[in-house]
Amino acid sequence: MASEQLGEILGRIHAGFRRTLQRGALLSDPTMLRLHRRLLAIDPQRLSRKPFEETRFVVIDTETTGLQAYAGDEICSIALLEMQGFELTGREFCTLVCPGRPIPEASSRVHHLTDEDVKDAPLIEEVMTEIADFIGESVLVGHHIGFDIRFLNRILQKELLCHLKHPWLDTMLLYLVHTGRVGHYTLEEVADYARVEVRGRHTARGDATTTAEVFRRLASVLTEYSNPVRNLINRQYEMGHY
């Protein structure tokens, strides 16, 4: 047997053994097991059928050490804001996160977070249960939300052996639907179009707050308050962007 084949087989055995250990640790922790079952029980179709006025939304933003969720980058700040229908409720979860690795200077120039800022912050594993609890049964909202979901799913898969099944809405895609434009647009550009003041740019809470207001303004034009959320979810794909 070639050494490359042997290495691949051993790698698979090791990965399977690691998953078995994780599953055993999960089953022995009542809190983790409860969250695991709760996330697996999420029914995206049921959430999507709810009218806007009855829907709980969670607006998400993260700041990270870089752009590669599956190549070593980590979250260093996260904000979750709750909305009911088109309105913020005032409930939120925001925290700095120790990424467990140095923050590159190039990333610090964007979000102004340094190793000193996060050295005493909790690890993402230490707040993952709070994050999952806060998300609960909701429709997720973000600007370029796929970026944030990738980072959260990597941690959830590692810690809870599952991932987010929640429906989501992306304010950039809603902007494309509303304007008929194509391309890639920043939060500043979309906020300017929606006449939303940008405060605390490239901070998780600041960007989440801006995204929530952009979402409120765009969604209120694109759908009726009594319509099911799935109508707006489906409209995201009208321009062929997904």
The count of other CB atoms within 10 Å of the CB of residue 180 is 8
For residue 19, being part of any structural domain is answered with no
What is the residue range of 135's domain?
42-235
For residue 20, being part of any structural domain is answered with no
Nearest-5° angle of CA 43, CA 48, CA 50? 105
> What does pTM read for this prediction?
0.88
Q: Which of 134, 162, 139 is nearest to 78 (CA)?
A: 134
Q: In whole angstroms, give the CA distance from residue 18 to residue 95.
A: 29
For residue 95, being part of any structural domain is answered with yes
For residue 214, being part of any structural domain is answered with yes
Q: In whole angstroms, give the CA distance from residue 163 to residue 150.
A: 9
For residue 7, being part of any structural domain is answered with no
Name the 3-class secondary structure at 107: helix
For residue 203, being part of any structural domain is answered with yes
- Written as tens digits, the pLDDT of the chain (242 aa) is 555 555 554 455 444 434 444 554 655 778 878 888 889 999 999 999 999 999 999 999 999 999 999 999 999 999 999 999 999 999 999 999 999 999 999 999 999 999 999 999 999 989 998 999 999 999 999 999 999 999 999 999 888 888 999 999 999 999 999 999 999 999 999 999 999 999 988 899 999 999 999 999 999 999 998 999 999 999 987 765 54
The predicted structure's pLDDT at residue 10: 44
Task: Look up residue 99 and give its amino acid.
Answer: P
The predicted structure's pLDDT at residue 65: 97
Residue 83 near residue 56, CB atoms below 8 Å: yes
Q: How many domains in the chain?
A: 1
Domain harbouring 214, CATH code: 3.30.420.10
Name the 3-class secondary structure at 58: strand
Adjacent-strand bridge partners of 139: 57
For residue 15, being part of any structural domain is answered with no
Two tokens, residue 58 = 């969670």
Q: In whole angstroms, give the CA distance from residue 71 to residue 51.
A: 39
For residue 124, being part of any structural domain is answered with yes
The predicted structure's pLDDT at residue 240: 55
